Amino acid sequence: MAERAYGGCAKYIQRDGELDRIGQHAATLGTSALLIVDGFILERYGERLHKSFSDAGVEAAAERFGGECWTGEVERLSEIARQNTVQMIVGVGGGKTVDTAKLVAMEFGLRLIIVPTIASSDAPTSAIAMRYHENGSTDRSVYLPRHPDFVIIDPKVVIEAPVRFLVAGMGDALTTWYEARANRDAGTKNYIAGGYRAPIAGLAIARQCHETLMNDGRAAKIAAENGRLTPAVQNIIEANTLLSGLGFENCGCSIAHGFHNGMSILPETHSMLHGEKAAYGVLVLLVMEGRPNEEIEEAFSFCEDIGLPTTLADLGLGNTSDDDLARGARAALGDNEPTHSTTAELSVESLLAAIYTVDALGRKRRETVIR
Ligand SMILES: [Zn+2]
């Protein structure tokens, strides 16, 4: 295949204390900004953010994010951006804040700086925003014409957040290589400029994402639990955010995310984080694609060691009926789901067989460990 396409955020910066230098980076893009900030982040870091912008000579207004990335909130913030005639949007916070900032910036073709305060998913670097309904249910993915100008992450901020977010980020990053390979083998498309085959660069990044998780994931979790920033934590922040972000966008998603999306219709999974559900989806993908035992065991032991779900009970689906699981599986096979990007044979039956097999394996492995 001769076709291929690559895309990604223009600049990625990760450094301890970079929160105090966001203004300097913003000054390279313009002189006025609207900051969209998570409420508790604004309370905790608002003063430092304001100082960073005023020191750099960038006029900045900060607006508290309303909590849901839906049309009404995007319109409210867009109106504020319009009234202030700002040149850039700066989104500071978790996934929904970041996605809202992307949508507001797109509204007026403004410059965009993304400042993730947790490393829980690979969304920040991408030109994709997930839109929700007011009640929190998923609306649709929006593909933006441009990537963020900057993604700036301060590990000193990330380490303050609960470790569960970093672990979930590793779950999301765990999907990247396996789903990239599934797309490569199936000859399916990535998310760049309407969809092309994955470039060598994308596959290499996805592969390196996996290597980094296997090398540094366990040590990073332990260090983060103790509030310590070590080289392993720094590497995992990059893997979760940059490597996984460039990897999924340039190579495509597959069964792991399809499983995530399908199971998300079941309310039992609503307390689970994106990367936690997707990690179980990785195990489902490996079983469905008939990958070698060593590979399946490597993925299981990684999930077990860092505390990602490996049984249905872990996912909150321990008491879910067969019918409900079948509903989730059917949703995972919807026409627009990435589940189809694989060489595996797909049906509700084959997907359910893999879901139950992973659960049986997960329980068996745990019993063996306890005895
Ligand atoms: Zn994901």
257 is catalytic: yes
pLDDT of 346 reads: 98
Task: Please pick, among 25, 274, 314, 359, the residue that the annotation labels catalytic.
Answer: 274
pLDDT above 90 (res 158) = yes
CA of 275 to the centre of ligand 1 (A): 6
pLDDT above 60 (res 75) = yes
pLDDT above 60 (res 108) = yes
Among candidate residues 304, 178, 323, the one with its CA nearest the CA of residue 265: 323
pLDDT of 371 reads: 54
pLDDT of 134 reads: 86
Task: Please pick, among 216, 260, 314, 359, the residue that the annotation labels catalytic.
Answer: 260
CA of 61 to the centre of ligand 1 (A): 31
- DSSP E strands in 144-210: the ranges are 150-153
Q: pLDDT for 311-342, tens place per residue?
A: 999 999 999 999 999 999 999 999 999 999 99
- What does the domain layout of the chain look like in residue ranges? 11-158, 254-371
pLDDT of 137 reads: 77
pLDDT above 90 (res 370) = no
Structure tokens at 183: 């797309």
96-97-101-103 Cα dihedral, nearest 10 degrees: 20
Q: How far apart are CA 237 and CA 126, in angstroms?
A: 16
Among candidate residues 299, 251, 3, 275, the one with its CA nearest the CA of residue 122: 275
Task: Please pick, among 99, 149, 154, 172, the residue that the annotation labels catalytic.
Answer: 172
pLDDT above 90 (res 369) = no
CA of 123 to the centre of ligand 1 (A): 7
Mean pLDDT, all residues of the chain: 96
Sequence length of the chain is: 371
Among candidate residues 230, 331, 315, the one with its CA nearest the CA of residue 278: 315
Structure tokens at 296: 């399946």
pLDDT of 1 reads: 65
Strand order in the sheet with 150-153: 11-14, 150-153, 111-116, 88-93, 32-37, 59-64
172 is catalytic: yes
pLDDT above 70 (res 353) = yes
Cα 95-191-342 angle, rounded to 5 deg: 105
Q: pLDDT for 212-261, tens place per residue?
A: 999 999 999 999 999 999 999 999 999 999 999 999 999 999 999 999 99
Provide mean pLDDT across the span 82-91. 96
Task: Please pick, among 25, 38, 257, 359, the residue that the annotation labels catalytic.
Answer: 257
As a CATH number, domain 11-158 is 3.40.50.1970
CA of 183 to the centre of ligand 1 (A): 15
**C-alpha neighbours within 13 Å on the C-beta side of residue 7:** 23
Burial degree of 231 (CB within 10 A; 0-12, 13-18, 19+): exposed
Q: pLDDT for 119-150, tens place per residue?
A: 999 999 999 999 988 887 778 899 999 999 99
Q: pLDDT for 290-310, tens place per residue?
A: 999 999 999 999 999 999 999
**Residue 324 and residue 263 in contact, taking contact as beta carbons nearer than 8 Å:** no
Relative orientation angle of helices 71-83 and 95-108, to the nearest 10 degrees: 50
Q: How far apart are CA 187 and CA 341, in angstroms?
A: 8
Which CATH architecture is the domain 254-371 placed in? Up-down Bundle (1.20)
CA of 122 to the centre of ligand 1 (A): 6
CA of 168 to the centre of ligand 1 (A): 10
CA of 336 to the centre of ligand 1 (A): 16
Structure tokens at 33: 């900004």
pLDDT above 70 (res 67) = yes
Which phi-psi region, left, alpha or beta, contains residue 13 (left: φ > 0; alpha: ψ -120 to 50)?
A: beta
Give the dihedral sign, CA 11/14/20/21.
Answer: negative
Structure tokens at 283: 């195990």
Band of the pLDDT at 37, cuts 50, 70, 90?
very high
